[in-house]
Structure 1
């Protein structure tokens, strides 16, 4: 039975302004074998019309012009059982050829709930994706089963082995044809005793001349022993020392105390305060994965969250608004000179990097963007979501070798898994965005009752 037989045709609503992006998305949905129950411009669509269409999925082409419309449609978009799929309008409009077909297969897999993303005719090809962990060893039969066949063969061949004069089988034990009575045993014992009495005892052989005579055992007189130190009764002058006249060193500990030296440091400058961060890297397909990751993070996160996702046109302000709707943590745009605050999400533009200071991380202008090597590895985490740049894989593994926690996204929602799969194949943590958020919460969240990391 195919996947289409197991799952009914999903109902999909397409929300996009008229233009090339809407045309590309419609073509992708037409090849995805879905039922388009609604196609409209979100700027003119009413929430009631969207609800009356009863879609299971809503595909939205994101752009700055529909930000206010999405806020107006928020009640309908938040309906239970409704799944939202976001795509950048600029990317959708330029997507063509092989890239469009590949993205369409991933979209169809997400809408139908399966993982068949290969072109037609390649479904039976073995997966070439590397998987972490050692391969399972072949089953080993028990030792008894391994040796049993050899033991039976050796027993069958034992009679054919030629014998030699170096080995003679032991003589059989003597047997008595008739039982011996108790009277016969007593008579034999009396005769042997009489014979031993009449014979003279044999003389002991003389010891050789060169053997010394045995010495009497050595005895120790312990009556004079004592546990008293005799030196204690001797006068002090009788035991002069080499360093006589030099006074023994003394240590004055009266002025020492157990005061916490960290208490005199300014707030935020103590050891471990604000050190490290959670860096999230994403790209194609990243908005949906980023929404799921940030939406599952706890409010008491003990490290700042840095988000870097390349966007055409640099509309990072719009990304801040989108993520602020789902994130329980405050979301803001990172600015040069600003300090990365623990428990807050900072969206980084392409020209913003970080530098480490005594009281945490500060944002600074970097033409090349964020540098993974600038993060303190001992208290940092790095998550590579869908579309992360392959150039970040090497620095990510170097940071993991220095003690950082590194993870990669897996699953049907990962449309561009190249970088995430590379770190997972190297032995890093793997999971869906919600699963990675749970692992981060267990490692870096703060107990809100006492303010301590569990």
Structure 2
């Protein structure tokens, strides 16, 4: 296999500056072919198409938004994978952090999970081969002779076992059962039993009269006021069970208790996985989609624009006081939380961010994509135990699989982003009832 076939072809789209230099350095250490490096503002779609990249690494910033819209027909081509990085974050990344990010980038581009630094790779596993193992070499008699002679000389000096001494009346050789019998302790014979004296038979017991037993204190019952019995009778006759209905009780529950939602958590490598998930959802989804992906640069407006280009559902930035709308994607910033109300889910300002426990478990689906925070694993599994549907991303495209793998290992659903979207679409597509979790 030639070098051109072994190393993936990568196009780097970034404006000139520190971010572009950092990304170029990371790609130089990732064993890839940089088939194109250019500013997307001056790049023509045909030039990007002619370079035939397998991956496109993009440094996201507000200044290239219009250029990405112009290049969208090429960027959305089948078989082309996109890797997004915040330009501001890439520009200040250096040292250990830059090396770590570079290893994760190389793993994504080459489709493996090896992200450890050099020298920390896994030890090679022992490969077993069929067949019987070769017997060990037989010891040479000459080599053992010295030890045998030494053991013979020391035999008389070996201390005897003081725990057992044969009885004096026994002489070797004796049978083993005889030796055991001689060691048994002597049990003294029991004293002679006294002669029993004849006693007259005892009189039979007088039968106990239990006909007068009563679990109710008749004297106390007789003292019960008449109005107390009348009150009990009135309560029994006034309790009407004819109108009880489990269906009516369920319908009387506040709408917020049945408000379904799809919560998507992501992080490092999340934009690519999120694009694939949202792009595969149906336009008639019956529940709101909540997206929380931590961005160090905090440019959630850019994320909204990027996802709006691929999502069949409208994408908007969630704001405090706003209600989550079914069939829409709401991107949550770090300081936006959610609460269940009588008319559905509402967004509010919360310094702690999204609280998984605030969602109604029975009507919630939760998906952990690449880079999801490990701190969300525990609350996600608690929500699953209460009735929620929880899933984790797997596959080569999972850039940072720690949290997603943890929920999958706990027995939750697993799949590529497109596969998880198909499951959600089958359960929450148009005509679904009550928005219950899959």
- What TM-score results when the alignment is normalised by the length of structure 1? 0.64
- Give unpaired runs (5+ residues) of structure 1: 128-248
1:406 equivalenced with 2:390 (yes/no):
yes
The correspondence of residues 233-244 of structure 1 with structure 2, limited to 5 A, is none
Q: How large is the Cα RMSD of the aligned pairs?
A: 3.4
- The 1:257/1:27 distance shift into structure 2, 3 A limit, reads closer
Structure 2 match to 1:366: 350
Please, which of 366, 369, 373 is the counterpart of residue 382 of structure 1?
366
Report the 3-state secondary structure (helix = DSSP H, G, I; strand = E; otherwise coil) of the residue aligned with 1:354.
strand
- Give unpaired runs (5+ residues) of structure 2: 126-235
Q: Deviations over 1:118-138 (max 9, x none)?
A: 4445554379xxxxxxxxxxx
**C-alpha distance in 2, partners of 1:393/1:416?**
14
**C-alpha distance in 1, partners of 2:79/2:381?**
38
Please, which of 302, 311, 316 is the counterpart of residue 332 of structure 1?
316
Structure 1 match to 2:39: 41
1:350 equivalenced with 2:350 (yes/no):
no
- The 1:34/1:272 distance shift into structure 2, 3 A limit, reads same
Q: Give yes or no for contact 1:446–1:452 (8 Å, CA) kept in 2.
A: no
Structure 2 match to 1:281: 265
**C-alpha distance in 2, partners of 1:437/1:371?**
23
1:302 equivalenced with 2:286 (yes/no):
yes
Structure 1 match to 2:15: 17
Report the 3-state secondary structure (helix = DSSP H, G, I; strand = E; otherwise coil) of the residue aligned with 1:408.
strand
Query: How many pairs does the alignment contain?
Result: 327
CA shift, 1:446, in A, is 2.8
**C-alpha distance in 1, partners of 2:378/2:272?**
25
Larger radius of gyration: 1
**C-alpha distance in 2, partners of 1:29/1:315?**
24
CA shift, 1:90, in A, is 2.3
CA shift, 1:106, in A, is 2.7
**C-alpha distance in 2, partners of 1:370/1:338?**
15
Report the 3-state secondary structure (helix = DSSP H, G, I; strand = E; otherwise coil) of the residue aligned with 2:6.
coil
Q: Give yes or no for contact 2:288–2:325 (8 Å, CA) kept in 1.
A: yes
1:54 equivalenced with 2:52 (yes/no):
yes
Structure 2 match to 1:78: 76
Q: Deviations over 1:339-370 (max 9, x none)?
A: 11122111111221111112211111212211
Please, which of 33, 54, 64 is the counterpart of residue 62 of structure 2?
64
**C-alpha distance in 1, partners of 2:93/2:434?**
48
Structure 1 match to 2:306: 322
The correspondence of residues 407-446 of structure 1 with structure 2, limited to 5 A, is 407-446=391-430
**C-alpha distance in 2, partners of 1:295/1:415?**
19
Q: Deviations over 1:211-240 (max 9, x none)?
A: xxxxxxxxxxxxxxxxxxxxxxxxxxxxxx
CA shift, 1:421, in A, is 2.4
Report the 3-state secondary structure (helix = DSSP H, G, I; strand = E; otherwise coil) of the residue aligned with 2:311.
coil
- The 1:6/1:412 distance shift into structure 2, 3 A limit, reads farther
